[in-house]
Structure 1
Amino acid sequence: MGIEVGGLLGLIWLVILIWAIVKVAKSSSGAISKLLWILILLFFPLVGFIIWLLLGPKG
């Protein structure tokens, strides 16, 4: 049962991460800013996502 739950949570986390990357890519920020946020989200998924939620989206 643990494998199924872990797999489901991993899938949910992947969907959330992809959603954040798409939101960054569609934002009106500059290209370098977008690239940095996407790299942060890819290399530091949990911490990067939390930082992005706190500092990234405006309005």
Structure 2
Amino acid sequence: MEYGIFGLLVLVADIYAIISIISSRASVGAKVIWTLLVLLLPILGFVIWFFVGPRGSAKIA
């Protein structure tokens, strides 16, 4: 049961990330790369996107 809840949370987080990526102002190439990263590595891809994604780079600058 715990794995099902964890899987659902990962799915929701990935869907949120993909929607945010698609609606961002990043270039099409960057959107494709970020989306593939989140799809191929669901947990790690989300964490990387969360900290250094298109929105994350704006916070640093």
The interval holding the TM-score normalised by the smaller chain is: 0.7 to 0.9
Superposition TM-score, scaled by structure 2 size: 0.81
1:1-23 CA deviation, whole Å, 9 max, x = no partner? xxx22111111110011000100
Larger RCO (CA under 8 A, 6+ residues apart): 2
Q: Give the greater-gyration-radius structure (CA).
A: 1
Count of aligned pairs = 56
Superposition TM-score, scaled by structure 1 size: 0.83
Give 1:27-38 correspondences, 5 Å limit: 27-38=24-35
Identify which range, 23-32 or 46-55, moves more after superposition. Answer: 46-55
Q: 2:14 aligns with which of 17, 20, 33?
A: 17
CA RMSD of aligned residues (A): 1.1
Partner residue of 1:42?
A: 39
**Matched letter for residue 17 of structure 1:** D
Counterpart check, 1:52 vs 2:49 = yes
Q: Which runs of 5+ in 2 are unaligned?
A: none
